A and B are shown apart, each in its own frame.
Chain A
Amino acid sequence: MTPHTFLELKNAVVGIAGLGGLGSNVAVALTRLRVGKLILVDFDQIEESNLNRQNYFADQVGQHKVDASLENLRRINPDAILEGRKVRLTPEKIPDIFKGAHVIAECFDRADQKQMIVETVLSKMKDVVIVSVSGLAGYGRSNEIITQRISDRLILVGDTVSGIGPGVPLTAPRVGIAAYHQANAIAEILINELHTKLAGSTT
């Protein structure tokens, strides 16, 4: 990467909504990429069943996902600028909590929650890009997970059809593929599209 690219990412702010299979892994990728600041939001605590795909460890079961993520990410980069919020996101809270974010990663589990945040960001947060995921359950079919540009401010990752259901579990490899598609789409936006804005925000 050129020094110029580093400058852009240093000024970038990314919000991560949900720290489960998607969010915990997106956060790792963006921390390694040295994105300037991450806003990490989740109200939940780690359960043993989460360890099949989420970036936590057995000795962290029972901790808040926000606390465990902050701990894990700081082991990658002790200087990372991270803001953790233990709240349940609602349409009223989203613009305030993610204030200053250039991009938001939708990392929820439930379909209606995904709908809620995408609608809220598109209708209430001008200029913010949301990278959302739909269709990642099961295993195999790696190449059916794709990244689609739906519009200027909406990017959709996934195969669009594989929801969680009986006999269709969530697995580490396929959720991980989707999470890294998401992180890669975010990297692309920050590097290619927010170049001017991020350079301009240097003080």
Chain B
Amino acid sequence: MSAILKINGQEKTFEKGLPATLSELLDSLKIDAATVVAEIDGKIVEREDFAQTNLAEGQAIELIRFVGGG
């Protein structure tokens, strides 16, 4: 069953259902968890909790990615 998440303001449809956790979502997007700050519905999720954070249809997920240099 397809499901939708709003990622960084854009709706993304998952044809085979949602990734179960935030970690799985990052894996599917090929994002290194060590360089991303995540918010779900405006609330920060700490990196150590990514693997235990379940996702639900319709959530707004903000993924702020960092690249090196300063």
A-to-B contact residues, CB < 8 Å: 18, 20-23, 107-112, 114-115, 118-119, 122-123, 132-137, 150-151, 154, 156, 158, 160-164, 170, 175
The answer on a CB contact under 8 Å between A119 and B69 is no
Q: Which of B64, B66, B67, B69 is the most central at the interface, judged by chain A CB atoms within 10 Å of its CB?
A: B69
Chain B interface mostly: mixed
CB distance B67 to A135 under 8 Å?
A: yes
**B65 x A160 contact (CB < 8 A):** yes
Q: Can you show 22 pairs from A to B with CB atoms below 8 A apart? A: A109-B70, A114-B70, A115-B36, A118-B37, A119-B37, A122-B37, A123-B46, A132-B66, A134-B64, A134-B66, A135-B69, A136-B70, A137-B69, A151-B39, A154-B64, A160-B65, A160-B67, A162-B69, A163-B68, A170-B70, A175-B69, A175-B70
Instruction: For the complex formed, measure the closest distance between the CB of B27 and the CB atoms of chain A, giving whole angstroms.
Output: 17
A130 to chain B, nearest CB (A): 10
Contact A115 B34, beta carbon cutoff 8 Å: yes
Chain B residues with a Cβ under 8 A of chain A:
34-37, 39, 42, 44, 46-47, 62, 64-70
The 9 closest A-B pairs by CB, nearest first: A163-B67, A114-B66, A164-B69, A111-B35, A109-B70, A111-B66, A137-B69, A122-B44, A22-B70
Q: Do A156 and B67 touch across chains, with their CB atoms under 8 A apart?
A: no
B37, A111: Cβ atoms closer than 8 Å: no
Asked whether, in the complex, the Cβ of B70 is within 8 Å of the Cβ of A115, the reply is no
How many angstroms between the C-alpha atoms of A161 and B62 in the bound complex?
16
- Asked whether, in the complex, the Cβ of B69 is within 8 Å of the Cβ of A109, the reply is yes
Q: Report which of B46, B47, B62, B67 forms a contact with A134, defined as CB distance below 8 A.
A: B67
Given contacts A21-B70, A122-B39, 4 further A-B contacts (CB under 8 A): A108-B70, A160-B67, A163-B67, A175-B70
Cross-chain contact A136 with B69 (CB below 8 angstroms): yes
The answer to whether B44 touches A115, judged by C-beta atoms less than 8 angstroms apart, is no
